[in-house]
Chain A
Amino acid sequence: MKIFFLRTLFLLFLVFLQISFFDILFSWFRAPLFLLGVVVIFTLVRGFPSALFMTIPLTLLFDTISLGAVTWFSLYAVIFSYGTSFLSRRLLIEHRGMGLGLYALVAYGGAFLYQALFSFIMYTYFAKSSFASPELIPSVESLIFSLVVESLLFVLMYFVVSRAEEYFSHINQQQFRSVR
């Protein structure tokens, strides 16, 4: 119960960070950049099957707080997590030592793909019935800036999530010992 409570608090903290911090900082980016990075980290740290138990609640909490309805983002995050898991062995074996940097790129790529899909759908729908030209694609400077920040954050968050997982595992073992 304690672990469930702590994990929920941890997930809520990540969601609040996305909604109130990163979305204000990167207001032109139409994808939850930070949360997609966290999904990649969960997949790397816990493995895909266990990561699902964090990814799904994380995205559902995000949907609940932001819109009050389940959106396609949750489904995208699960598919993205599966894709990361699919890539993980190959990337780590072939690029030992710089794996984390590559995963940061994967996370950014995932966010960029989400934004591209969103923009494509909006533009297709928008172009049919409107004649305004909204700026759906951010500038190159903005993309580079977000890539740098996302990469740095990814490395930082990797260690934060790893430590948190170690801590949860430690508490789990303590509870198990006390039962025995």
Chain B
Amino acid sequence: MTLRRKFTQTKLFRALIAAAFLLFCIIFQPRFIMEPLRAVLATVSWPIHGVFSSLAFEIRDGVHFLSSIGELKRENERLHQETVRLMAENTKWQAVASENEELRQELALLPRETFDLKAAQVIGRDAAGAGNWLTVDQGTRQGIKRGMPAIAYGSVLIGRVTEVFPESARIMPLTHPDSVVSGVTVPGQAQGIVKGEYGLGILFDMVLQDTTLQSSDRLVTSGLGGELPQDLFIGTLQAVRLSPDHLYQQASVIPPVDFSSLRYVFIIKNTQ
């Protein structure tokens, strides 16, 4: 005589029950439990995140160093040439800067703002998605507030602070689908909106057709709206086309830094 299990005793039934429960959670999202739990965990766990992320960065840098030994000589030569070129360019810009300063004094304009920066280490990233957020080790106790811009070295805009916890904060990068920033091209002064594309890229959109967009133009923040400072570097335009409704121009933007490999960012504290 063979013993047959009831369907309710099978693994498949349990899997279906579990899947149904999770589907229910996905549809109805029990945020009233998740949000407070998340805030508590973010507050107590930042030292652990700090230790793990530092270790991961050290290992990654070590592996990267070992794998790139062969290329170091070539890279060194290229950097040497780049240094010489930048020194020449810097000399030219110094002259322009002093001329600009003199003109500002003559026109009685205010000096350009200097940023109050707070350095922060990246201690977490979006694991299951497309790099939709970065967690850094600075929070409300260090004076970080929601909406503050985050930059990388060389005034490269990374994104904005969207959530703040006592000892950590979460940054929404420019690639996030909800990220919207006002931008302007240099040269050309074409104004438009810089939008994230599903966490995978950046799009310069809503540019009027009577302005000229070129694929090598550089994109900076326009400062419109007052939320972000002016002239933060966003990226270089890559490909230009008309929007699907043929009303505006669009361009894909190549950011100068890889957001997924950032170890340190700087949060601008004096924007408001």
- Closest CB of chain A to B23's CB: distance in Å? 7
Q: A32: which B residues are within 8 A, CB to CB?
A: 127-128
The answer to whether A19 touches B49 (Cβ under 8 A) is yes
**Interchain pairs with CB closer than 8 A, number:** 155
Contact B52 A21 (CB under 8 A): yes
Contact A78 B18 (CB under 8 A): yes
Nearest chain A residue, comparing its CB with the CB of B50: A20
A71 to chain B, nearest CB (A): 6
Q: Closest residue to A33 on the B side, CB-wise?
A: B127
> Are B18 and A52 touching (Cβ within 8 A)?
yes
Contacting residue for A17 out of B21, B52, B203, CB 8 A: B52
Within 8 A of B (CB), among A44-81: 48-49, 52, 56, 60, 62-75, 78-79, 81
Q: Which of B41, B59, B125, B252 contacts A64 (CB 8 A)?
A: B41
A178 interface residue per 8 A CB criterion = no
Q: Mark B7-50, 1 if CB is under 8 A from A, else 0.
A: 00001101100110111011001110011011001100100111
Contact of A122 among B23, B26, B42, B198 (CB under 8 A): B198
- A24 and B60 contact, CB distance less than 8 A: yes
Asked if A126 CB lies within 8 Å of chain B CBs, one says yes
Docked Cα-Cα span, A62 to B45, in Å, equals: 13
Instruction: Identify the B interface with A (CB < 8 A).
Output: 11-12, 14-15, 18-19, 21-23, 25-26, 29-31, 34-35, 37-38, 41-42, 45, 48-50, 52-53, 55-57, 59-60, 122-133, 135, 197-198, 200-203, 238-239, 241, 244, 250, 252, 260-261
